Structures are given as structure tokens and as C-alpha cells.
Amino acid sequence: QVLLQESGPGLVKPSQTLSLTCTVSGASISTAKYYWNWIRQHPGEGLEWIGRIYYSGGVYFNPSVKSRATISQDTSKNQFSLTLTSVTSADTAVYYCAREVSGPQRGDFDYWGQGALVTVSS
């Protein structure tokens, strides 16, 4: 069974850095079969894709956050992480990590974490 679990501070001060980690069990992040993604959902709103990392370390971002976001991986712990700098209240959201099936005819998110609420407030 594939499980993803987000962890990190639930409260971040404005202008500081948001850091979240996704721990994966039941699947290896070191396989070419999948991408590992971060997706967020502002309160009461829809889903927004943030970015993804591939087993090779290649990363891709939504232009809306590209200048502030970093995604990294720790294959020894089977984890990948998101950092978002210079946060504002607009970054308050539930942050999900999700597995994406790779391949030219895929690109769907088949497993999701339970989500982590991050509030940006002083």
C-alpha cells in the first residue's frame, strides 16, 4: 500500500520560509515510474499545482511560484521536500504531496497525502 505523509510547521510568519516534507512508504521515489509532486489548496478554493521532482533530481515548477519554490529529495529516507520563501498570507493553504504516474500518456496523480494546513500569520 502506497502512503504519503506530509509534515512540517503549521504556522509560518510572513516573509519567512515554509518547509514541508513528504515521507513515502510502499513505493520508492528513486524509480523512473513516477514523479513526486506538491499541490496546494487555498481555503475554500480549488487545487493549484506547485511543482514536481523526478528520480534524477530534475524539477519543474508552476511559473506562479517558480522564483520562490525549491523541491528536493532524500532518497535514503524516501522523502521529498518543498521550501517556499518569502511567504505571505496568500500562501496559507493545505499542502498535499502526490505521486504522479510518469509516461507520455499519463500525468495523473494516483496517490495523495492527507494534506498539511500551513497558515501564514504573525
Mask of contacts with other proteins, 67-106, x by CB under 8 A? -----------------------------x----x---xx
The smaller minimum CB distance to other proteins, of residues 32 and 117, is found at: 117
- What is the C-alpha to C-alpha distance for residues 34 and 111, in angstroms, rounded to an integer? 11
What's the closest the beta carbon of residue 48 comes to other proteins, in angstroms? 7
Considering the rule CB under 8 A, would residue 55 count as an interface residue with other proteins? no
User: Residue 92 carries which side chain, given as an amino acid letter?
Assistant: T
- What is the C-alpha to C-alpha distance for residues 81 and 71, in angstroms, rounded to an integer? 5
Q: Which of 37, 67, 90, 93 binds other proteins (CB under 8 A)?
A: 37
The smaller minimum CB distance to other proteins, of residues 44 and 88, is found at: 44
Which residues are registered as beta bridge partners of 62?
none
What's the closest the beta carbon of residue 47 comes to other proteins, in angstroms? 4
Chain residues that interact with other proteins, rule: CB under 8 A: 37, 39, 46-49, 52, 60, 62-63, 96, 101, 105-110, 112-115
